[in-house]
Structure 1
Amino acid sequence: MTHTYKITGMSCQGCRTKVEKALNGIDGISAKVTLEPAEAIITMDKHIQTEKLQEALSASGNYSIEMKAHEKDTKEKVHHHHGTTPIKVNREETGGVYYCPMHCEGDKTYDKPGHCPVCGMDLLKQPTLKQATQFTCPMHPEIISDQPGSCPICGMDLVPLGGNLEEEDKVYETLLRKFKIATIFTVPIFLIAMSEMIPGNPIFKLMELKYWNWVQFAFSIPVVFYATWMFFQRAWQSIITWKLNMFTLIGIGAGVAWLFSLVALLFPDVFPDQFKTHHGTVYVYFEAATVILTLVLLGQLLEARAHGKTNSAIKELLKLAPNTATRIVGDKESTVSIDDIQKGDLLRVKPGEKIPVDGSIKTGEAIIDESMISGEPVPVEKKTGDKVSSGTINGNKTFVMLAEKVGSETLLSQIIEMVNSASRSKAPIQKMADKISGYFVPVVVLIAIVTFIVWAIYGPEPSYVYAFVNAIAVLIIACPCALGLATPMSVMVGVGKGAQSGILIKNAESLEKMNAIDVVIIDKTGTVTEGKPSVEKVVSVNSDFNEKDVLERIVALNSSSEHPLAQATLRYGEENKIKVQPISNFEAVTGKGVIGKLGKEELALGNQKLMEHVKAKIDNKLDEQVKAAQKQGKTVSYLAVGNKAVGFVVISDKIKASSAAAIHKLQQEGLKVIMFTGDNEDTARAVSGTLNLDGFKAGMLPEDKLNEIKKLQGEGKKVAMAGDGINDAPALSQADIGIAMGTGTDVAIESAAITLVKGDLNGIAKARLLSHKVMGNIKGNLFFALGYNVLGIPVAAGLLYPVFGILLSPMIAALAMSFSSVSVILNSLRLRSAKID
């Protein structure tokens, strides 16, 4: 059943995420929360009281939930139920991207609906996976806004989430325009100031220095009050909120230089002779202020372009979604937008086309290129009943598919959302950088003050001029902008790289933790094995039941189960033309099997623990046959009728070809690989021996896996758990890193920190190598960020002057500061070409 609830207390996208996560944490619930309107659409297995929903929300924040009523024409208030056929509401299209279905003008698109100017056809709206653009701060990714603007913490320009190319280009184009204006006015100021170094200074023949100072002032106004004014706004914001950052130093340094110059221009007589040139004018620093600001603006411009490159993985994923699909209704086919596809629709996929939504093949066969999602280059053969994913590419055959997941439910949409979320999350190492920044700025200001005092007292004449210039140089070169970029840039690129390789990372913390793992726990079915079990044989050991009788009862019980082993027996029953009989009182006993009633017969199908649970007797002959099959690595389920086991089914699940090599690779890196399985001891031992595992534990229930992981963690081990089933979810949540197989259940994927799209253990080795490279990259970035500061501050303060006569101009300091940011950006982008295979 599905119901709609009204949510109050949400004010931003972060709130929406918290509410959705809280609701989905309740057993038996699947919730989708929207901000506009503020409501939750909740699908539940059985009705759950609103009080329980409210309890979950109260634990997450000041949110409230109430059942939403909808008025019918009779004004009777009724509870809103969502049926299987959604009601479409006609709305006037006012935004979006439109294109001609005939592509008369190639890839040309329009920003409003209308007619193609060439052929006259109605323009179609191009569907997007993410309709609304949101914005975040590159240094404080927890900040999320529906509108562009400045970060309330540090004042930086918010950047678009989700790799929105159009919005990113707008940010870049705005900065580029401002940079051009700043450059146009800064260059003349710089040339005027530097002309004093030319013998016989030719420009002084046109005007005296005091008039050229007024020209510099005039040229500086567009630079300070238009092109770079946002830096001073950010500096002020950082001071009043006491969130000191790079803009605090830039604002103080450049602002003091400009204001000093203005006062010197207007009131030269208030300054002592030390501040005056041989022309009688006071030294002005318009060129230092404008050059510094222009160089900082250049750094911001480069960062804006770099953000576009770091989001390239998301952009490529967005391009995978096709615009249209071919829908079959009756014996007619029509081309529809993917936004109009509904669950249950039949879609024809032609050779070379992209698969529009997630679903399964209804008729036909195909060879699908899944490399864009799984990262594996070899095309995969698909037949009737096999699953296909949106964005993958059909080969040279035509097939009809059944749409099962559409819109935000598709794998492609979930990948994009996960990459977006991970890209804006903080790694624990970022906390160290934030802490350094918090102390760094006040310390730098103090160093600048001390520098001024020391130079004023002990410096050569004009000592106050030296004191002023060196203090500004200290403020500028110490700017920690590169420190703020060091971690987020590496995380963004690393998460994108992982997505392109079929490794979906939920947050930056898991990316960092993966580097510290020393034990890997793996499940058997669907993790080590292919998860495609098949029945080898059905055996009867009771004269009252032949093999067909045993199979009939197995099929009847498993018809109500979703377990992969159950599906294998149903396929076997279908092949043997077994009619499915209705079962009553069906119950799945977690980790043991299933029970139910067929007519008057009490049936139980499962492992030895289930037989003990229902008190079913297993005779010696049956026990011997079962153990013989289990020692060969087979999975065996007993069938009990009443209080006696009458037969069994032997099921085999082939070990994945890649499992042995992947496990060996992990062991070579010093990791211990241990298998936890609910299967019996003999089967587990056979699989463990084949793969040379470091250990195994058999017959484990979900709580047993959970407790064993807690035990390992209690010994100081950092544990990664890989699994694919609902029964793995508690262990995945408990482990330091939960790794879900993309071929598994939604519950397992939701509980995990990392998802392997292909469901291959090789992905664990790839994820660990990616983590290692990202952490190395972050440390390199921190070196670049702090190295310039540590080396530059003493030079800017004049430490080398007494011995070598070296001083650092504020303009050179600004160049060095910008170069540190460029170094961080370039180092981060190296991850795009890193090999993790």
Structure 2
Amino acid sequence: MGETQSREITFGIDGMMCGACVSRVEKKLSRVDGVVDAAVNLSTERARLTCDRPETVEAAFDAVESAGYTPVAERLTFGVEGMSCGACVARVEKKLAGLAGVREARVNLTTERAEVVYIPGLVDRDALFAAVEKTGYTPVALDDDTAPEDDDGPSEADTLKRDLIIGAVFTLPVFVIAMARMVPGIGAAMASVLPATGWYVIELLLACPVQFWAGRRFYRLGFGELRHAAPGMNSLVLIGSNAAFFYSLVALVAPGLFPAGAAHTYFDAAAMIVTLILLGRWLEALAKGRTSQAVRGLMQLKASTARVRRDNDWVEVDIAEVAAGDRVQVRPGERVPVDGLVTAGESYVDESMISGEPVAVAKCVDDELIGGTVNQRGSLEIEASRVGEDTTLARIIRMVEDAQAEKPAIQAVADRIAGVFVPIVMALSVATFLGWLVFGPSPAISYAFVAAVSVLLIACPCAMGLATPTAIMVGTGRAAALGILFRRGTAIEQLAGIDTAVFDKTGTLTEGQPKLTSLVAVGSYSKSRTLAYAAAVEAASEHPVAAAIVTAARAQGLEIPAVSDFKVHAGQGVKAVVEGQTVVIGSAAFMTERGVALGDAAADGESEAEQARTPLFIAIDDQLAGLAAVADSERAEAAAMIEALHERGLEVAMLTGDNEATAKAVASRLGIDRVVAGVMPDAKAAEIARLQTEDQQVAFVGDGINDAPALARADVGIAIGSGTDIAIEAGDVVLMRADLAGVVNAHAVARSTLQTIRVNFGWAYGYNVLLIPLAAGALYPFTGWLLNPAIAAGAMSVSSVFVLTNSLRLRRLSAAMAVSSGTDASSDDVSSADAGSAKAAAS
């Protein structure tokens, strides 16, 4: 990069908490070579940087990251028109990534979109668009009227269909005339009507509309690619079809220029090349439209208007005008427009789009509503809490789109190969032509021409470019229909490759709502007094086990006294003063440490633990007063889920803070292979790392809150959510329903998607490896057979259509494990905005 004058750059920084953070970041930035001045503001969370060259800002971003904070770059998504194969994708990505200030560039052939992460001040939208134009393609702002998803004009499929019809109308008679001349009897009859030259002229006249009207897109796009020295599929079709057309034209008007027997016409091949390629492109466009059907269906669930309170009256406004805090009315049968809390009214709401449950949920004052769900009976008034892009539905759509846009490693390799594939094919075509010209039989030029054009056409890399994005789009869409959100496209490849699934116990394998199963008083203490004192202490704790004791005391109508001097001993127990007496609750080890004699109760505690119940010893003034047992029952589907994972070849492990006896009892009942007990929340990530050092590919399944470090550390983090907490940032995969069947189904979708990608690549590459030699004439010495260019064009289209239809099979993928609620997890993808379709989106 060349030298530039000093410039001032401003960017955001996430994660700073205090002045020490500011000082640390400023010190890091000031040490970057080329930084003239650096100032960081805590309140605005922004840094102002004066530097003398563009690469300094890149180094500054790295410096902020090394300090433990996150530099914030801008993100722009825009359309890219004119791409037709993996080579196009690789070319655009390379051009964008080469711009100073671009941190990341991803281009998706199926969605025809580019996503760029860049540093403002070094590069802007105009520069990004200019870079795309220099590669020969057309950038389109998604908020423009010309955006690809604009429904006002004809779609790509409609345009291709129109051109295909025109091409077919003229190609069919050309084909009939050319073929009929070779049929004994018919050829003679045709010659009696018109001489051969007359029929060639008719073929020329019929081929012209196909070549220059129906096939005009190949001229526009192909010449653009060649002009920018970036040949792609359009270039290959342009060269191949024009070679056939103009060779034939010269042979017709000046046959003397050719050696004897070489002045053949191929007007039928030229027309068929264009028509068959258009047929393939039209089928591709139809299939690509179907790959994004799930996302479009979810987008249709968004309400377009809302009834909002304005000046003491209900007014219907555009959904974009609704702000947080507005009062919104939802009448029976209407779709809830925004997320919010019910302030008036009672009703039943169909939340199947989120929960998958077919039964409507009762709603009353202070209950939460989710935008996109359907109000069934009564009228409701709600206070909007999340609107626009902050709603639950918008976050679901955004996660699915992000996953579809991201590329797994296998696609990155494929794009690099595709980037050099077209020039290699063109070189092979030239080599084929020269080889036939030198070594071929007479008339050598005719054979050389046919073989070279066939090589060009049969090797178009369309299938390579479509192999991964179509499978990812259909796979993530199908996963969303099963209640599974892949937040990253790379998570599909990683999840498919795991060999160990690690589960948090409480709230994941269990219900997360422990209950008091027994309480035995010891010595002179009564059961009610012991429970009341224990509840008093535990009322100050936030632990789920504590809630179980408090709930039991309240259920018995006991009066819970006040406490003082409450103290938590992490991982051991709690202590407080109740009515002047010191009450301690905790493990046997905690009691022994405090000198409390357990006597026979120690064995009773071990017995409870062996039955997967957590024993809690209660001491008053250092005298044992009772033994309580708390149990958190396993989820109904947990054992079946683990069995299903075993059948899929996975090892299952469990992490828990419980004692070893309790953990092993749970593991024994559920069939878990490995147990790590006594693990504190902050040590779970270290345990995941330890497993990874054993060459294990690990998926961690947790609730996404206390388990965030472990979710982030695992190769794949699977967060179990429900309702509005589905957008758990720590997980790579989010289960929208709190049902463990989603773990099995997520793994099944990931494996099926990756297998589909591999089959697609195997077909795309194998197809070219096998057919390029065939097109070049490898069988001619043995069979005397040479591939016709028109057949080569058709074969190329077949390759792309195969890849697309193979990917679309994922839409019919059934759930590997039925959800415990009994909802139909294998229903079709979302295709409409009615309540039934909303249900299909989640189930």
Does the pair score TM above 0.5?
yes
Would you say 1:246 and 2:248 are equivalent positions? no
Match of residue 53 from structure 2: none
CA distance in 1 between counterparts of 2:515 and 2:44 reads 38
Per-residue Cα deviation, 1:715-746 (whole angstroms, up to 9, x for no partner) = 11111100014331111112111111013996
Percent identity of equivalent pairs: 35
Alignment of 1:157-556 (within 5 A): 164=149, 166=151, 170-183=155-168, 186=171, 197=182, 198-199=187-188, 200-201=190-191, 204=194, 208=198, 215=205, 218-219=208-209, 222-223=212-213, 226-233=216-223, 235-236=225-226, 240-241=229-230, 245-258=232-245, 260=247, 271-274=257-260, 277=263, 283-324=264-305, 338-339=319-320, 341-343=322-324, 352-359=333-340, 369-375=350-356, 377=358, 388-394=369-375, 403-438=384-419, 440-533=421-514, 548=532, 551-555=535-539
Match of residue 659 from structure 1: 638
CA distance in 2 between counterparts of 1:617 and 1:163 reads 74
Q: Is the 8 A contact 1:719 1:735 kept in 2?
A: yes
Give the match's secondary structure for 2:652: strand
CA distance in 2 between counterparts of 1:471 and 1:286 reads 16
The unaligned stretches of length 5 or more in structure 2 are 1-6, 22-41, 50-56, 74-104, 117-124, 817-843
Alignment of 1:82-101 (within 5 A): none
CA distance in 2 between counterparts of 1:173 and 1:551 reads 70
Alignment of 1:60-209 (within 5 A): 137-138=108-109, 143-144=114-115, 164=149, 166=151, 170-183=155-168, 186=171, 197=182, 198-199=187-188, 200-201=190-191, 204=194, 208=198
CA distance in 2 between counterparts of 1:700 and 1:554 reads 22
Note closer, same or farther for the CA distance 1:657–1:163 as it changes in structure 2 (3 Å cut).
Answer: farther
Q: Is the 8 A contact 1:719 1:736 kept in 2?
A: yes
CA distance in 1 between counterparts of 2:735 and 2:324 reads 25
Per-residue Cα deviation, 1:607-635 (whole angstroms, up to 9, x for no partner) = 789999xx977663797887666555345
Aligned partner of 1:717 among 696, 720, 726: 696
CA distance in 2 between counterparts of 1:458 and 1:181 reads 40
Q: Is the 8 A contact 2:452 2:776 kept in 1?
A: yes
Q: Is the 8 A contact 1:9 1:63 kept in 2?
A: no
CA distance in 2 between counterparts of 1:361 and 1:580 reads 35
One-letter identity of the residue aligned with 1:620: L
Q: CA deviation at 1:462?
A: 1.6
Match of residue 834 from structure 2: none
Per-residue Cα deviation, 1:681-711 (whole angstroms, up to 9, x for no partner) = 3432332232121122222123422222222
Note closer, same or farther for the CA distance 1:209–1:176 as it changes in structure 2 (3 Å cut).
Answer: closer
Aligned partner of 1:706 among 685, 697, 720: 685
Aligned partner of 2:722 among 743, 761, 769: 743
Q: Is the 8 A contact 1:370 1:376 kept in 2?
A: yes
Q: Is the 8 A contact 1:137 1:158 kept in 2?
A: no
Aligned partner of 1:620 among 595, 598, 604: 598
Q: Is the 8 A contact 1:138 1:158 kept in 2?
A: no
Q: CA deviation at 1:160?
A: 10
Note closer, same or farther for the CA distance 1:339–1:8 as it changes in structure 2 (3 Å cut).
Answer: farther
Would you say 1:668 and 2:647 are equivalent positions? yes
Q: Is the 8 A contact 1:231 1:250 kept in 2?
A: no
One-letter identity of the residue aligned with 1:667: H
CA distance in 2 between counterparts of 1:675 and 1:179 reads 58
Q: CA deviation at 1:832?
A: 0.8
CA distance in 2 between counterparts of 1:183 and 1:589 reads 81
Q: CA deviation at 1:805?
A: 2.5
Note closer, same or farther for the CA distance 1:739–1:696 as it changes in structure 2 (3 Å cut).
Answer: same
CA distance in 2 between counterparts of 1:640 and 1:365 reads 48
CA distance in 1 between counterparts of 2:156 and 2:701 reads 41
Q: Is the 8 A contact 1:235 1:250 kept in 2?
A: no
The unaligned stretches of length 5 or more in structure 1 are 1-6, 11-18, 30-45, 67-133, 278-282
CA distance in 1 between counterparts of 2:584 and 2:729 reads 31
Per-residue Cα deviation, 1:10-66 (whole angstroms, up to 9, x for no partner) = 9xxxxxxxx99x847999x9xxxxxxxxxxxxxxxx968645999768657999779
One-letter identity of the residue aligned with 1:694: D
The higher relative CO (CA closer than 8 Å, separation ≥ 6) is in 2
Q: CA deviation at 1:641?
A: 11
Give the match's secondary structure for 1:144: strand
Q: CA deviation at 1:318?
A: 1.6
Q: Is the 8 A contact 2:533 2:560 kept in 1?
A: no
Give the match's secondary structure for 1:228: helix
Q: CA deviation at 1:178?
A: 3.6
Q: CA deviation at 1:789?
A: 2.4
Give the match's secondary structure for 2:728: helix
Per-residue Cα deviation, 1:515-564 (whole angstroms, up to 9, x for no partner) = 22111100112211223445678999998997556544543x35xx6x76
Q: CA deviation at 1:814?
A: 0.3
Q: CA deviation at 1:408?
A: 2.4
Per-residue Cα deviation, 1:116-138 (whole angstroms, up to 9, x for no partner) = xxxxxxxxxxxxxxxxxx99641
CA distance in 2 between counterparts of 1:836 and 1:607 reads 42
The farther-off stretch of 203-212 and 546-555 is 203-212
Q: CA deviation at 1:215?
A: 3.7
Note closer, same or farther for the CA distance 1:403–1:603 as it changes in structure 2 (3 Å cut).
Answer: farther
Q: Is the 8 A contact 1:514 1:771 kept in 2?
A: yes
Q: Is the 8 A contact 2:726 2:735 kept in 1?
A: no
CA distance in 2 between counterparts of 1:733 and 1:510 reads 12
One-letter identity of the residue aligned with 2:404: S
Q: Is the 8 A contact 2:563 2:576 kept in 1?
A: no
Q: Is the 8 A contact 2:174 2:268 kept in 1?
A: yes
Q: Is the 8 A contact 1:725 1:747 kept in 2?
A: no
Match of residue 36 from structure 1: none
CA distance in 2 between counterparts of 1:331 and 1:806 reads 84
CA distance in 2 between counterparts of 1:298 and 1:667 reads 46
Note closer, same or farther for the CA distance 1:478–1:723 as it changes in structure 2 (3 Å cut).
Answer: same
Q: Is the 8 A contact 2:344 2:382 kept in 1?
A: yes
Give the match's secondary structure for 2:729: helix
Aligned partner of 2:773 among 794, 798, 813: 794
Q: CA deviation at 1:793?
A: 2.1
Match of residue 25 from structure 2: none
One-letter identity of the residue aligned with 1:229: Y
One-letter identity of the residue aligned with 2:115: I
Note closer, same or farther for the CA distance 1:570–1:185 as it changes in structure 2 (3 Å cut).
Answer: farther
Note closer, same or farther for the CA distance 1:214–1:827 as it changes in structure 2 (3 Å cut).
Answer: closer
Q: CA deviation at 1:784?
A: 3.2
The farther-off stretch of 301-310 and 364-373 is 364-373
Q: Is the 8 A contact 2:723 2:736 kept in 1?
A: no
Per-residue Cα deviation, 1:243-293 (whole angstroms, up to 9, x for no partner) = x54334334333444555566678766x3434754xxxxx45454334323
One-letter identity of the residue aligned with 1:484: G
Give the match's secondary structure for 1:620: coil
CA distance in 1 between counterparts of 2:235 and 2:468 reads 21
One-letter identity of the residue aligned with 2:642: I
Give the match's secondary structure for 2:155: helix
